[in-house]
Structures are given as C-alpha cells and as structure tokens.
Amino acid sequence: MMTGAKPSILEAIGGTPLVKLRRLGADVEADIYVKCEYLNPGGSMKDRMALRMVEAAERSGQLRPGGTIVEATSGNTGAALAMIAAVRGYQCIFVMPDKMSQEKIAALRAFGARVVVCPTAVEPDDPRSYYSVARRIAAETPNCFYANQYHNPANPEGHYVSTGPELWEQTGGEIDVFCAGLGTGGTITGTGRYLKERKPAVQLVGVDPVGSLYYDYVKTGRVTKPFTYKVEGIGEDFFPSTIDLKLLDEIVRVDDRECFLTTRDLVRLEGLYVGGSSGAAVAGALKYARQTRRKENIVVLLPDGASKYLSKIFNDDWMRENGFLDDTGLGVVADVLRLKPAEVITARSTDRVRDVIARMKAHGISQLPVVDDGKLIGAVAEVDLLRYLVSGEQSLDSPVGPLVESEYATVSPQTKVELLQGLLADARMAIVLDGEQIVGVITKIDLIDYLARRAS
Ligand code: PMP
C-alpha cells in the first residue's frame, strides 16, 4: 500500500478541525471554538460511535459476516452505519420518522440500505413509532444486529475514546466549557465524561430545543409534555439510557427560529457549511456566554453538514412558510400575557386541597402551577382534584403535593405564538418562565382570546 494512503475510509474518521469563530460571538467575552464534526467521512460525528457500536457487536458475536444492521435513526447514525457496512460487507435496514429531510433518506438509499419511514406524531411506545418498528424488524430479521443507539453503551463510549481525547489534545487542556446538542446524549456524555476526568472544572452545557423533554426535566425534575419542532437530531420525547443528565452543569433552551437563523449565519459569516443542530448548539453557546460573561474557552460541537437541509433551512420559501424568516406578525408569548392579569396564581405543595380549590374558584381558573421556594415543581388541575376527591380516601385537608402533575409545557416570553397552538393541543397549559421565575400561564382559551382580539 502507498505510504500516504489509508486502508479504508473508516481510518479517516475523526481528526476533525477545531476552528475559532471569528464573527459570531464577537459581542461575548468568551472565545468560542467549533469542532467541525460535519467533516467526518460519513458526514457527522456519528461515524465515531457507529464504528464503536459495530466493532463491539463484532467482538461480542452479535454481528457476524454477511449480517444485517438494523437501526432507528434520524439519518446520521444511518449514514455512518451504511458507510461502515459498505466497507465491511453488511446489509442495512433503517427506520426513520417522517419529519426527516428527503435528502437524508436518499443518502441512505444511495449506500444500498433499505429505509422504512414512520409517522413522527405518535407516542414512542405506539407500535407505529419508529422505535417500535425498528425493534420489530430487528426481531424478525435473521443474523441481524440492532444497533439501538439510544440504549447502546458503545454510543457514549465512542465519544469517550475518540472525541474526548481528541479535543483534550487540540485544546491543550485549555477548554473551559464543552457545549453540544442533546439527542441520544452520546456526544455530551462520552466527550463530557472524558473531559471532566482530565479537568473536573470543565463545564458541560447541553442544548435542547423547545418541545423536548430534557430542559424541564433538568430544571424542575418533571417530565412535561413534549411537542413537535423542526430542528433535526436533537431533543427527545423519552429518556435514552445513553444520556447521563447528572453530568450536565447547565442546559440551555433554543427554539427553531434561532437554531435556523444561527445555522445560516454560520454558513454565511463563518464559511462553516453546517446543519440545523450546529446552529442550535452555537445559539445555545452564545446564550450561555451572554449569561456568564466570563472570559473563557467554549468549545461547541458541530454535528453535521448543510447539504441535507438545502430544501429546508437554506430554502427561503420553506423558512418563510414556517415563519422563521419574516415575522408572521402573530407576536410572542409576552404579547398574550399582556392581555391577562399580571399576578400569577400559584400554590405550594404543602397547601391544603381545600385552599387550592378555593383559590381556583376565587380566580375562575381550572389549573395552576405549584411553586416551592420560587421553583416550579409542577401543576395541579381541577380534574386531578376531582379524581382525588371522588376516590374518597383523602380529605380536603391533605396537602396537594401528591397531586402535582406534569401535563404542561414551559415556554419563555420570547416564544412565538405559532408554537403555542401545537403545544396546547398536547399540554393542558403553557407555563411561562423567564429564567426560573414564573411570569404567566397560558391556556387554550387565553390563546383563542388573543387571536380573536387580533382578528377583530
Ligand atoms: N445533531 C444531529 C444532526 C444528530 O443527528 C444528532 C444525533 N441524534 C445530534 C445532533 C445529537 O447527538 P447525540 O445523539 O450524541 O446526543
């Protein structure tokens, strides 16, 4: 073999550049560096963990010569597995949710993989969900290895053994903050664990899209109502075992609009040809930096490239149709709150059921947030109180604590009104948080009232 050549494309995985942002973030004290994982041969950082998963399966005998790799994937893990399968002689079957770009599906088919598309808008345990379908195909296919990236420890390990050490070396240990979007959590958990072992002061910042479960869970310990959003690859509606949320020092929330506008800026202002979750991660890092105002080195991981999103993020018609480019004029959550009394009616978990009922009656409301020591811990609703009283076992003098539920979603005052409609189809109410402070509550009728007034 020629001395400069690699035995296969798989040896080209990793070794991606670390680049300093020059224009974005010029207004923050911190220096922001980006790890260009989109330059991996399979198109994303998933190459690293896919190789680890395949090699672990080969070692354990789960994957044998001529075998089939099955996976539920939003595209990048699929591309990585398909590339590895091509080199090593395996077949692939991938199951994807239908919100994914056509380009991603076509790319997997280009590698010779079979792709099965499933509805996005069903619960994860629904038999039609892409997780369920992948499990079923895996069970029915002979000589098959179900990669199961959401529960395969080789996923975070792949980053622990490669992304982590590589960043440690490239930064010469001068990294202060590592920031990445949260999907399976493999990236932040594996890379973060390695970096913290080398330097415990390294701060791990996870970035989560509005609509995903992680943010509320980390901030309040409650599992709120997930709802759909457009950015691909990050956010979840269940908890994968590959993520260790306790490892995170901070979690930052971003909405689709800021993800996509930042993505476009990364391409146009920095020449970084990246996809939507890269914009999300950088938008999250900028928010973090504006909040901490520290002179430090923040490293942000850029997962994949722009080409898979040309018909979406980089298409002005698509951006405009979704209200991401021009303002649709419907306003933001703060505008809806302006029509409501400023006082937010809340309860404490130690309040008696009797008093909470009286408070709801006095204010003509059917649900309210429960706040202990200034921190949102959940909500109680009329229907819960009713169910409780009808059960007959409890008294009106018991505390409401055990009745606290999570049938709400949280938003910020800057959240676009368009988002509320989808959110309130699933959640009983939207609790508006400015940082940790509750500044309002919005229910369906508040939204109807707001929209009706604008129309008249
Ligand atoms: N961005 C993109 C484009 C992805 O495909 C993924 C993987 N779901 C992520 C970010 C999140 O990475 P991880 O699963 O390691 O948390």
CATH assignment at residue 434: 3.10.580.10
3-state secondary structure of 118: strand
Q: Is residue 327 a part of any domain in this protein?
A: no
Structural domain includes residue 2: no
DSSP for 404-443, written as a single string: -B--EEEE-TTSBHHHHHHHHHHSSEEEEEETTEEEEEE-
185 touches ligand 1 (CB under 6 Å): yes
Catalytic: which of 35, 46, 219, 312? 46
* Cα-to-centroid distance, 320 and ligand 1 (Å): 25
C-beta 211 within 6 A of ligand 1 = no
Atom of ligand 1 nearest to the CA of 275: 3
Ligand 1, residue 75: give the atom nearest the CA. Answer: 5
Q: How confident is the model at residue 59 (pLDDT cuts 50, 70, 90)?
A: very high
CA 277 to ligand 1 center in whole angstroms:
8
Q: Is residue 328 part of a domain?
A: no
Same domain, 106 and 250: no
Are 34 and 183 in a shared domain?
yes
276 plus 169 within the same structural domain: yes
State which ligand 1 atom lies nearest to the alpha carbon of 183.
Answer: 16
Least confident among 153-157, 291-295, 409-413: 409-413
What total number of domains does the chain contain?
Answer: 3
Q: Which of 287, 321, 355 is the last residue of a domain?
A: 321
Q: Do residues 311 and 338 share a domain?
A: no
Cα distance between residue 157 and residue 284, in whole Å: 24
Residue 328 has pLDDT above 80, yes or no: no
CB-CB contact of 225 with 305 (8 Å): no
- Residue finishing a domain among 122, 146, 170: 146
pLDDT of residue 337: 94
Q: Ligand 1 pocket, 76 CB below 6 A? A: yes
- Tell me if 384 CB under 6 Å of ligand 1: no
DSSP 163: I
Residue 327 pLDDT > 80: no
Q: Which atom of ligand 1 is nearest to the CA of 304?
A: 3
Q: Which helix (H) or strand (E) holds 51?
A: helix 46-60
Ligand 1 centroid vs 180 CA: distance in angstroms?
9
For the stretch 357-394, pLDDT in tens is 999 999 999 999 999 998 899 999 988 888 888 887 67
pLDDT at 105: 86
Q: Whose CA is nearest to atom 9 of ligand 1?
A: 233
Residue 43 beta carbon below 6 angstroms from any ligand 1 atom:
no
**pLDDT at position 74, please?**
64
Query: What amino acid is encoded at 121 in this protein?
Result: A
The protein residue with its alpha carbon nearest to ligand 1, atom 12, reads 183
Kindly give the distance from the C-alpha atom of residue 455 to the centroid of ligand 1, in angstroms, as a whole number.
40
The pLDDT mean for the chain works out to 93
Q: Could you tell me if 183 and 197 lie in one domain?
A: yes
CA angle (277 as vertex; 272, 282 as ends), nearest 5: 60
| pLDDT of 418 | 83
Q: Is 199 a catalytic residue?
A: no
Whether residues 112 and 33 fall in one domain: no
Summarize pLDDT for 121-140 with one digit per residue, the tens.
Answer: 788 788 888 888 988 999 99
The neighbouring-strand residues paired with 72 are: 95
Q: Is 1 contained in some domain?
A: no
Q: Is 277 in the pocket of ligand 1 (CB under 6 A)?
A: yes
Q: Which of 117, 146, 175 is the last residue of a domain?
A: 146
pLDDT in tens, 172-181: 999 999 999 9
Q: Which two tokens stand for residue 105?
A: 């599906």
Give the domain extent around 68. Answer: 46-146
Whether residue 284 is found in the same domain as residue 200:
yes
Whether the CB of 303 sits within 6 Å of ligand 1: yes
Determine if ligand 1 sits within 6 Å of the CB of residue 182. yes
Model pLDDT for residues 406-439, shown as the tens digit of each residue? 889 999 998 888 888 888 888 899 999 988 889 9
Report the atom number in ligand 1 closest to the C-alpha of 303. 1
127 and 158, same domain (yes or no): no
Q: Is the dihedral of CA 333, 366, 211, 182 positive or negative?
A: positive
Residue 175 located in a structural domain: yes
pLDDT score recorded for residue 384: 85
Q: Is the CB of 187 under 6 A from ligand 1?
A: yes
The rounded percent of the chain whose pLDDT value lies above 90 is 74
The response to whether residue 262 sits with its C-beta less than 6 Å from ligand 1 reads no
Ligand 1 atom index nearest CA of 278: 1
Confidence of residue 220 (pLDDT cuts 50, 70, 90): confident
User: Is residue 60 a part of any domain in this protein?
Assistant: yes
CA-nearest residue, atom 11 of ligand 1: 183
Provide the pLDDT for residue 292: 96
Identify the weakest region by mean pLDDT among 4-8, 37-41, 418-422, 443-447. 418-422
Contact 408, 427 (CB under 8 A): yes
The distance from CA 92 to its chain's CA centroid, rounded to whole angstroms, is 26
358 & 408 share domain: yes
Same-domain check for residues 341 and 409: yes
**Looking at this protein, which amino acid is placed at residue 119?**
P
Q: Are residues 27 and 162 in the same domain?
A: yes
Domain assignment present for 4: no
396 and 296 assigned to the same domain: no
In the reported structure, the alpha carbon of residue 89 is separated from the centroid of ligand 1 by a whole-number distance in angstroms of 26
Ligand 1 atom 7, closest CA: 233
Q: What angle do CA 415, 324, 25 make, to 5 degrees?
A: 80
User: What are the phi and psi torsion angles at 352 (to 5°)?
Assistant: -80, 150
- Higher pLDDT: 237 or 120? It is 237
Once rounded to an integer, what is the mean pLDDT over residues 321-329?
Answer: 80
Model pLDDT, residue 386:
85
CATH number of the domain within which 62 lies: 3.40.50.1100
Q: What is the pTM of this model?
A: 0.86
Amino acid letter, residue 131: Y
For atom 5 of ligand 1, which residue has the closest CA? 233
> Is any atom of ligand 1 closer than 6 Å to the C-beta of 304?
yes
